[in-house]
Amino acid sequence: MRPHIRRTAGRRLRALAAMAVATTLLAASACGGDSGGGGSSAGGGGDVTLRFTWWGGDTRTKLTQQAIDAFQKDHPNIKIKGEFGEWSGYWDKLATKVAANDAPDIIQMDEKYLREYADRGALQDLKKSEGLDTGKFEDDTLKAGEFDGGLYGLNAGINSFAIVANPALFKAAGVAMPDDTTWTWDDYTRIAAELTTKLNGKAFGTGAPGTNEAALNLWARQHGESLWTQDGKVGVSPEQVTAFYQQVLKMRDAKAIPSAEAISQDMNAALDQSAMATGKLAMNWMWSNQLNAMSKAAGTELKLLRVPSVEGKASANGSYYKGSMFWSISSRSKHQKEAVEFVNFLANNTAAGNILLAERGVPPNTEIRSAVTPKLQPADAASAKFIQDIGKELGDPSPAPPVGGGQVEKIIQRYTTEVLFGRQTPDAAAKAFLDEVNGELK
Amino acid sequence: MSALGELGSLRGKKPVGQKKDNLAGYLFLAPWLLGLFLITIGPMVASLYLSFTDYNLIQAPKWIGLENFSRMLSDERLHNSLRVTFTYVFVSVPLQLTIALLLAVVLDRGVRGMAFYRSVFYLPSLLGSSVAIAILWRQVFGTTGLLNQVLDVIGIHGKGWISDPSTALGTLVVLNVWTFGSPMVIFLAGLRQIPTMYYEAASVDGAGVLRRFVSITLPLLTPIIFFNLVLQIIHAFQSFTQAFVVSGGSGGPSDSTMFFTLYLYDRGFGNFDMGYASAMAWFLLVIIGVFTAANFFASKYWVFYDD
């Protein structure tokens, strides 16, 4: 019922408004209380629980869980609790956990963030860890996780940036597979444009280079430069970034790549939902170890190709071996001994090797590699063979990103979007890109 | 307090009882008070301290004075994030409140099944800031999303709304406007407070629907409009979830949905720059404080309290 007379309503409302404002204001600056992570590190009865975090899709999670189960069977006193998620979001979560003094004991680490964490003392120097066996590792593969005299990440697999192709779409378009040992950027663009035309809207020729920094690095290496220098600085010139973006625009204008919107949408898509996995691209840029997961997601056998080069020579395409990922141990882990035991198992145990196969890249432990090679599934076998085949053509290893370099992926994505949408010219974007990357280095 | 005081006087031992009752009062307050100090005030004080430091989350914070604040002056991405946030606030809040008010007036006129409509319109407010809806939004406005499928039927070839920098922010504005339900319910309550005799008198004088709305409803509703305005502005300034989820955490494409809060998060957790992020949080508090104060100041001139 409506009141016919009201006296205090106005005053009350004013007080209510003031109160509501006060409480919401307070909440503004204290954003996000701690949800109180329950660190269940010390179980009862001498049992130890280790937390192990990794990024990756379905395939990896299943294999990793199997490896954990095998380890637990041999070590009934150690429990491994997996924490996993997609690449995007993984680093935010890890940073939050480390800041809250709640870091997982074993961390799957990427080259981009290795220095970031190690320099700040968040990672254990594995050289000082007792019982970690690296005897069967090739020197080069160990070096990838080594700096300032310490070993902060143990190589978990070798991969290389490559082009992945969908033979079914090539066939549907009636386009022959290119000879990847001799193809140039122009060949690559032409073939991709032809695919787009012949596939008639069903799919595009290729994804764009520049949705992460690896393609720019290859471009720089093909032009005698490199994204990072040995002493931790930016090594690519504005001219080459500009030229790289001009190449991207050339591909856009030839319709070799999809629309700017489609590319920007694909940048943060999970592997299983990406344009390559859903058959909307005939080719894309990808890390070689993802061949298996991507083939599974696409439901067809995909094929790896060498990246195109300026000169049309595979030995000049700038490719290099990269540690696809690393095993690191938190310096604050209370169970160093058990954590080392687990990393040892992942890296050196044949049973683990037989489960994990080459999903994280070709095993850097040579003994495991030869034991595993005959057992590889077709896609893993193909990526392992690819890694072996390009071995003779590789140039110098690529210097690891310096502290602050982890941001480069997000930055290049932003400027590639700017260029594709025509909001910035290649040279303006190149300059802004380099300014920003330089600004992030510490 | 007065109710407790009365209780005390009933027992007949006034001064001592008063003290005891105060204690009881504080005890009842304790859960909330503890929460306030541990979850709100504590972190606030900590973040105020951190805003004057260089803190990378892992090592101990280093005091650097006002450097974080002076850095904000030349940080172009921060300026861009302010532009994005202001656009969002000043487009979505007026739109949202207008729709809320109009629907409240229509519902108040005694539509049959009002309880049903009220619930239906309120529903988005409950869901609007959830992750699930943001994911749904991604799908609806995606390249092959629902919206484009509908547009296809009427012969318009749509685009990837959330992946085009010129329309991405628009989809977030639509999402916020869509949650008009909570201000609408408050408007409805306010409309019920307006004495019917004013309308009756106006009708006798021959005032039409529009005239009654402009001369009676609007002026008497100004306290409620003010309340909603203040609340929704603060709410919009603090939006985070929608932009974070819709852009996949990147604030993209091309920083077009990079809200201030999102950039704050990116600096703090993506870039290990928690000192700077804390300084940003305090800057946001000042911005919101200024807007709220301005709102209260301006309210003297347009809000009509009937007392």
Does the pLDDT of residue A151 top 70, yes or no? yes
- Measure A188 CA to nearest chain B CA, in Å: 26
Confidence of residue A34 (pLDDT cuts 50, 70, 90): very low
Q: What percent of chain B has pLDDT over 90?
A: 36
Does the pLDDT of residue B165 top 50, yes or no? yes
Per residue in A178-236, pLDDT tens?
Answer: 999 999 999 999 999 999 999 998 999 999 999 999 999 999 999 999 999 988 899 99
Cβ contact (<8 Å) for A21 and B234?
yes
Could you tell me the fold of the domain covering A161-319+404-440? D-Maltodextrin-Binding Protein; domain 2 (3.40.190)
Of A17, A29, A92, Cβ closest to residue B270: A92
Does the pLDDT of residue B4 top 90, yes or no? no
- Cβ burial of B22 (10 Å; 0-12, 13-18, 19+) is middle
* pLDDT score of A192: 95
ipTM for this model: 0.76
Query: A174-198 burial, b for 16+ CB within 10 Å, e for fewer?
Result: ebeebebbebebebbbbbbbbbbeb
Of B41, B160, B248, Cβ closest to residue A261: B160
* pLDDT score of B181: 87
Cβ contact (<8 Å) for B307 and A7?
yes
Kindly report the number of other CB atoms within 10 A of residue A388's CB atom. 13
**Among A305-309, B143-147, B171-175, B265-269, the least confident range:** B143-147
Segment of A243-257, B214-228, B240-254 carrying the highest mean pLDDT: A243-257
Residue B163 to residue A417: CA distance in whole angstroms:
9
Does the pLDDT of residue B307 top 80, yes or no? no
Mean pLDDT computed over A243-271: 91
Confidence of residue B250 (pLDDT cuts 50, 70, 90): confident
* pLDDT score of B128: 66
* pLDDT score of B107: 85
Q: Where are the domains of chain A?
A: 48-158+323-386, 161-319+404-440
Confidence of residue A20 (pLDDT cuts 50, 70, 90): low
Q: What percent of chain A has pLDDT over 70?
A: 90
Q: Where are the domains of chain B?
A: 2-50, 67-302
Does the pLDDT of residue A103 top 90, yes or no? yes
Confidence of residue A22 (pLDDT cuts 50, 70, 90): low
Mean pLDDT computed over B129-143: 81
- Measure B59 CA to nearest chain A CA, in Å: 6
* pLDDT score of A95: 87
Mean pLDDT computed over B206-231: 90
Per residue in A374-416, pLDDT tens?
Answer: 888 888 889 889 988 898 888 888 888 888 888 899 899 999 9
Of A17, A262, A418, Cβ closest to residue B143: A262
- For residue B201, how many C-alpha atoms fall within 13 Å in the half-sphere facing its CB? 8
Mean pLDDT computed over A73-79: 92
More confident residue, A59 or A40: A59
In sequence order, the 6+-apart residues with CB closer than 8 A to the CB of B233 are B89, B93, B288, B291, B292, B295
Q: Which residues of A touch B59 (CB under 8 A)?
A: 120-121
* pLDDT score of A15: 56
Q: Which CATH architecture has domain B67-302?
A: Orthogonal Bundle (1.10)
DSSP states along A332-386: T-S-HHHHHHHHHHHHH-HHHHHHHTTTTSB-SBHHHHHHHGGG--HHHHHHHHH
Q: Which residues of B touch A117 (CB under 8 A)?
A: 58
* pLDDT score of B167: 87
* Tokens linked to A344: 């040892």
* pLDDT score of B259: 94
**Residue-averaged pLDDT of chain A:** 86
Does the pLDDT of residue A77 top 70, yes or no? yes
Cβ contact (<8 Å) for A407 and B274?
no
* pLDDT score of A147: 82
- Measure A417 CA to nearest chain B CA, in Å: 6
Confidence of residue A32 (pLDDT cuts 50, 70, 90): very low
Mean pLDDT computed over A120-124: 90
* pLDDT score of A277: 94
Q: Which CATH architecture has domain A48-158+323-386?
A: 3-Layer(aba) Sandwich (3.40)
Confidence of residue B10 (pLDDT cuts 50, 70, 90): very low
B137, B255, B272: which to substitute to probe chain A, counting the most A Cβ within 10 Å? B272
More confident residue, B9 or B146: B146
Per residue in A278-326, pLDDT tens?
Answer: 999 999 999 998 998 899 999 999 999 999 999 999 889 999 988 889 9
CB pairs under 8 A between A and B: 174
- Measure A364 CA to nearest chain B CA, in Å: 30
Q: What is the pTM of this model?
A: 0.81
Confidence of residue B163 (pLDDT cuts 50, 70, 90): confident
